[in-house]
Amino acid sequence: MNAADSQIDYGSANNEHSRDYLTIYIAEQIFGIPVLQVQDVLRSQKVTRIPLAPKEVAGSLNLRGRIVTAINVRSKLGLPISNDDSHDMSVVVEHDDELYSLVIDKVGDVLSLKQDAFEKTPATLNPLWRDISLGIHQMQSELLIIMDVPKLIDSVHV
Amino acid sequence: MDDLIAEFLTETSKNLTDLDADLVKLEQNPNDKDLLSQIFRIIHTIKGTCGFLGLPRLEGVAHKGEDVLGLFRDGVLEVTPEYVTIIFESLDRIKYILSELEETGSEPEGDDSELIAKLAAIYDSTKNNDSQIEGMISIDDLVAIGADLSEIDKALEHNAALEAAQAEGSAENNADTEELDTSDKNGDEELLPENVTELKQAAPPVKTPVKAPVSEQDAGPKKKSLGTQSLRVNVDVLENLMTMVSELVLTRNQLLQILRQQHETDFSVPLQRLNHVVSDLQEGVMKTRMQPIGNAWAKLPRIIRDLSMELNKKIDLKMIGEDTELDRQILELIKDPLTHMVRNSGDHGIETPEERLAAGKKETGTIKLEAFHEGGHIIIQITDDGKGLAVDKIRDKVLSSGLATEEELSDMSDQQIQKFIFNAGLSTAEKVTSVSGRGVGMDVVKTNIEKIGGSIDLISTEGKGSTFTIKIPLTLAIVSAMIVESSGEKFAIPQLAVRELVMTSIDGENRIETIKGTPVFRLRDKLLPLVSLEEVLKIGDSMPPIAPKAVPQINDNDAPDETEKSAKEKEKEAAKTENPNAKYLSKYIVVTQVGAYDFGIIVDRVFDTEEIVVKPVARILKDIEMFSGNTILGDGKVIMILDPNGIAKSTGNMDTATSSEQDTDEIYSDVASNKAALLLFRAGNKSPKAVPLEVVSRLEEIKLQDIESANNRMVVQYRGKLMPLVPFSASQAIPEEGSVPVLVFADKDQSMGIIVDEIIDITEQRIDVQVAAQEDGIIGSAIIDGKATDVVDVGHYLNSVNTDWFKDHDDSPFKSGGEADEAGKRILLVEDSPFFRNMLTPLLQVAGYEVTTANNAIDALKLCEQGRIFDVIVSDIEMPEMDGFEFAQKIKADSNWQNIPMLALSSHATPQDMDRGREVGFTNYVPKFDRDNLLNALSETLSKNVG
């Protein structure tokens, strides 16, 4: 297991009033992914480029004998991709029996978020962002976007 | 669903498949008692089980069917097609009910009374003729009055069990049919006392006819004992096992990769062992997935039978190689295409008996289905002796559907045109039958076969029949692939698609040329379209600047005189970039075959081959046609697997139907032995020369100091004789010292040598002499290995030496009996090999004959019908379709050529051949290369004939 895994609290994922989310950072913005969807957290990996693939697809990599398709979330969100990807991290998720690794800037903590602090995604949000957002969670210091992972993956097309 | 019902369904569907095949056999073989008993047993089992499970509809039909089958078995009723059709109808009904049962879990609503009535009618029809089984009718009546059959049967079974217990130890333990027949009566007795008397009377006579077949039934269990050797395993379990093995193979590959990097390690021995074990395991698991192809064929006899009934044709289906095994996944995938094609052969191919008789064929048409292994592939051939594909009709259809223009068609061979049937929307059937002619079909078949990495080809002769050849890989799960690199990225290409590899160079023979920017390559005598992997995958752009320029760079060197200039350019380029020529010097062309279409993929590097496990690509990448999957290499890297079909498609206009015909021509010419082995050499000027290898007896290096002069000619002492030497051309510079290569020709006991500059190669090709040469000693020019090559007329050289030199010896030259006699004599030369046609025609013309050629015996006969007259016919013996003997027989038997003398030509004449030749009417027999003899024989024959 990766060193980053130690940050994940594998505790109960679904209390009565709160859910656990793995927080990630993309361009200073904090996002949350339901912790049960997360399979793995990886440091920057060498990927095989896939010609003709959608621009969001960074490539594919071998994770313990399984082929994982890497998706660059920055690109999906319409953000510039940094040339230096050595500090990138990825979160591996499973969707429809296939593994995808979401390439992001940084992985944060696992937070237990109370259900009552949820808000709908504001309609005025950039459509690229709105599409992959399940809702906004108001934390004390910042706003956390809950990421709709299946939708994010499905929205990647050739 | 009820477990019992599920089990019953599995069991029954297997039985029914067998039954279909058995019944067709029975129809052909009505007296096969074993077969009858077997069929009866199956139906009986179905009937018994469904009664037990409470499936009244099924049971009703099965019961009636069994009754009729019982009559067959007892020999009361003759097995006729009509009856068998009704039995089939019952089977279909049973199948229908079963399929509904499988879906819904219960029998569908419906009424079988009509079918039951039909069966009953057959059954009843016998009672009037045979009073012996009159007693049985009462059972029948019982059904009619609606007695509860399942109850009767339960009672019957019960009785049967009792009887079996009584008969314990007796030899009849297998005779369940007899027991049941007996117990039928008993059962009825108990349940329906009213009929007891009648039945009792009936019982003894019924029993007697039953006895005989039962005793023969004892042969049955032998086959069955095989069943205990196998067990039923759920397909999922096997699939799972296969996946695990695939993973294991990958891990093994990784370990081996690590091992290769480390020299001395304790792991090497156990790893080698692991390697072997994994290989064996892989093979073993693969075997579990293997199924005989016969499984996919099981339905075909029935289909053909129904087809022949429907269309009033007589068709015989022969199946060879049913045991050939292939992966069940592939088996599933080819089942439908195969069925479709066999049906097509029956419907389109085989004619009606009348048509067949009129065409001089046997009344019964034959469809032959054959499967065999060939080099990692399974070959399936479907051959029919029907009417073949009508080229004209296809041509019209192609024109009217706008698939090709008249111009394009005029350049195509018949074979090429016939291949249009693989295009969508082209059906040659004049009328649409229920079976075919709807214009969907062969294109779907082709697509399906290509999908699994196979290919399909056809050979068809109008009036004679067609042969479809399907080539499919043994398995799809683990394939061997070649790893290539382009723009620094590695890709895998399935080895099956790769025909050959060519390494290109900047100039010289192996360079890539361009036509308006499109790269092409001359591969032997044909142009190979090329695609650059870099370009189709659009991976060049982000690469360092030199890479995208690589292809155009090479292409600049089209014309030879530009070589120097471009070499300079190259240097400039080299100066500009740090990594110069090496990059384009080592370009490779992967010659790939998709169906019958060849094209080349330009790649930068080629690595080794590796066994890879094909894993499907992620769903979001499914739409990229260029890849068929991905895999993990031994070094742990993920690599994309290229899909040759996708690449071919992406390059546009790559219509396989109009594709490289030469390729298939090559196949045919192999058969027709049109190919000639040629010796290529250089002499005089730079252009290569070719001479048929067969006429060259030896190649020698002769030292110049050994060459002597005699009679103003160069001679050399060779094998105890003086051999004259001539330089190939007068302009040829012969070196002062050293040695020269010499082609030695031996003719009878004479020999001579031709001095050449350099011997290049020996190649086997079909040659097509295009330009008739003006020059002496040259037959013409042909493209050989991509170059214009002069084809040498050996005769000329032999001649020049013969007349001038051998005249002094007493060996008589072919100076024949007066050229005047020969002038204007008409010769028909029948010869299938274009090479010899080209070789002999000028020879004969030079000797003063007027030569007409025919490519084969059939064409020659056409000339005969046209009323052409010749003075002499010279015919080859070994020819496709109609050989020389048959040709001669036809002519001598009845034609206006009856009195024309015939000479036989053959490359290997045995005394028997000669005798046979004389028998069928050849005047003389001449070996093909014996030019003198031929001319002598000709003049002799002609003078005789005149005399």
ipTM: 0.83
Q: Give the range among A44-48, B522-526, B578-582, B776-780 with minimum mean pLDDT.
A: B578-582
| pLDDT at res. B753 | 84
Q: Which residue has the higher pLDDT, B10 or A122?
A: A122
| pLDDT at res. B689 | 84
List of chain A residues whose C-beta atoms are within 8 Å of the C-beta of residue B630: 60, 67
| pLDDT at res. B178 | 42
Contact B620 A65 (CB under 8 A): no
Is pLDDT of B133 > 70? no
Average pLDDT over residues A82-100: 84
Output the CA torsion sign for B598, B640, B479, B643. Answer: negative
Helix axes B834-846, B931-946, angle to 10 degrees: 60
Cβ neighbours of B204 (radius 10 Å): 11
Render pLDDT for B384-414 as a digit per residue (tens, 0 to 9).
Answer: 888 888 888 888 888 887 777 888 788 778 8
Is pLDDT of A90 > 70? yes
Distance of CA B699 to the CA centre of its chain: 39
CA angle A25, A28, A32 (to 5 degrees): 35
Residue B147, classed as helix, strand or coil, is coil
Q: What CATH number does domain B478-664 carry, 2.40.50.180, 2.60.40.10, 2.40.50.100, 2.60.120.10?
A: 2.40.50.180
B893 close to B871: Cβ distance less than 8 angstroms: no
Average pLDDT of chain B, as a whole number? 72
Q: How far apart are CA B541 and CA B539, in angstroms?
A: 6
Confidence of residue B946 (pLDDT cuts 50, 70, 90): low
Q: How far apart are CA B676 and CA B672, in angstroms?
A: 11
Contact A53 B621 (CB under 8 A): yes
Average pLDDT over residues B785-791: 76
Render pLDDT for B363-376 as a digit per residue (tens, 0 to 9).
Answer: 888 999 999 877 66
Q: Which of A45, A61, A62 is the best residue to mutate to test the B interface, defined by the most B CB atoms within 10 Å of its own CB?
A: A62
| pLDDT at res. B254 | 82
Q: What is the CATH number of domain B3-228?
A: 1.20.120.160
Is B624 in CB contact (< 8 Å) with chain A? yes
Q: How far apart are CA B446 and CA B456, in angstroms?
A: 7
Question: What is the full DSSP assignment across B520-583?
Answer: EEEETTEEEEEEEHHHHTT-STTS-THHHHHHHHHHTT-SGGGHHHHHHHHHHHHHHSSS-THH
B769 close to B779: Cβ distance less than 8 angstroms: yes
Contact B537 A51 (CB under 8 A): yes
User: Which of A118-127, B147-156, B921-930 shows the highest mean pLDDT?
Assistant: A118-127
Is pLDDT of B258 > 50? yes
Q: How far is A135 from chain B (nearest CA, A)?
A: 25
- Regarding the domain with residue range B672-808, which homologous superfamily does it belong to in the CATH classification? CheA-289, Domain 4 (2.40.50.180)
- Tokens found for residue B295: 């499984």
Contact A48 B640 (CB under 8 A): yes
B540 close to B531: Cβ distance less than 8 angstroms: no
Q: In what order do the strands lie in the sheet with B826-830?
A: B850-854, B826-830, B872-876, B902-906, B924-927
Q: Give the range among B221-225, B308-312, B511-515 with minimum mean pLDDT.
A: B221-225
Is B868 in CB contact (< 8 Å) with chain A? no
Is pLDDT of B774 > 70? no
Q: Give the one of B619, B626, B627 whose C-beta lies nearest to A98's C-beta.
A: B619
Confidence of residue B896 (pLDDT cuts 50, 70, 90): confident
Q: What percent of chain B has pLDDT over 70?
A: 70
Residues 6+ apart with CB under 8 A from B488: B543, B604
Q: Give the one of A52, A60, A67 whose C-beta lies nearest to B624's C-beta.
A: A52
Is B642 in CB contact (< 8 Å) with chain A? no
Characterize the bridge pairing of strands B465-473 and B455-461: antiparallel
- Give chain A's domains with CATH numbers: 3-154 (2.40.50.180)
| pLDDT at res. A8 | 41
Is pLDDT of B172 > 60? no
Q: How far is A61 from chain B (nearest CA, A)?
A: 6
| pLDDT at res. B571 | 45
Is pLDDT of B142 > 70? no
List of chain B residues whose C-beta atoms are within 8 Å of the C-beta of residue A60: 618, 630, 638, 640
B325 close to B405: Cβ distance less than 8 angstroms: no
Residue of B205, B234, B453 lying closest to B333 (CA atoms) = B453
List of chain B residues whose C-beta atoms are within 8 Å of the C-beta of residue A53: 621, 624
Q: What percent of chain B has pLDDT over 90?
A: 3
Contact A62 B632 (CB under 8 A): yes
Q: How far is B271 from chain A (nearest CA, A)?
A: 19
| pLDDT at res. B745 | 76
Range(s) within chain B of domains with CATH label 1.20.120.160: 3-228
Is pLDDT of A92 > 90? yes
Q: What is the CA radius of gyration of chain A?
A: 15
H or E element, residue B93: helix B81-104
Q: What is the CATH number of domain B293-473?
A: 3.30.565.10
In eight-state DSSP terms, residue B706 is G
Task: Give the residue carrying structure tokens 């009866």.
Answer: B40
Cβ-Cβ contacts under 8 Å between A and B: the total is 64
- Residue B420 CB-density burial (10 A; 0-12 exposed, 13-18 middle, 19+ buried): buried
Residue B788, classed as helix, strand or coil, is strand
User: Which of B230-244, B647-661, B798-812 shows the highest mean pLDDT?
Assistant: B230-244
List of chain A residues whose C-beta atoms are within 8 Å of the C-beta of residue B639: 48
List of chain B residues whose C-beta atoms are within 8 Å of the C-beta of residue A100: 618
Average pLDDT of chain A, as a whole number? 83
| pLDDT at res. B880 | 73
Average pLDDT over residues B617-634: 84
Q: How far apart are CA A142 and CA A139, in angstroms?
A: 5
Q: Give the range among B213-227, B246-260, B683-697, B854-868 with minimum mean pLDDT.
A: B213-227
Is pLDDT of B2 > 50? yes
Residues 6+ apart with CB under 8 A from B101: B5, B9, B55, B58, B107, B108
Is pLDDT of B191 > 50? no
Range(s) within chain B of domains with CATH label 2.40.50.180: 478-664, 672-808
Q: Give the one of B537, B618, B638 whose C-beta lies nearest to A48's C-beta.
A: B638
| pLDDT at res. A24 | 93
Is pLDDT of B253 > 60? yes
Q: What CATH number does domain B233-290 carry, 1.10.3470, 2.40.50, 2.60.40, 1.10.287?
A: 1.10.287
- Tokens found for residue B499: 């025909």
Is pLDDT of B217 > 50? no
Range(s) within chain B of domains with CATH label 3.30.565.10: 293-473
Q: How far is A53 from chain B (nearest CA, A)?
A: 7
| pLDDT at res. B111 | 78
Helix axes B563-576, B546-555, angle to 10 degrees: 170
Q: What percent of chain A has pLDDT over 70?
A: 88
| pLDDT at res. A3 | 43
Task: Give the residue carrying structure tokens 């008692």.
Answer: B33
Q: Which residue has the higher pLDDT, A54 or B911?
A: A54
Contact A65 B251 (CB under 8 A): yes
| pLDDT at res. B493 | 92
| CATH class, range B819-946 | alpha beta
B928 close to B908: Cβ distance less than 8 angstroms: no
Is B206 in CB contact (< 8 Å) with chain A? no
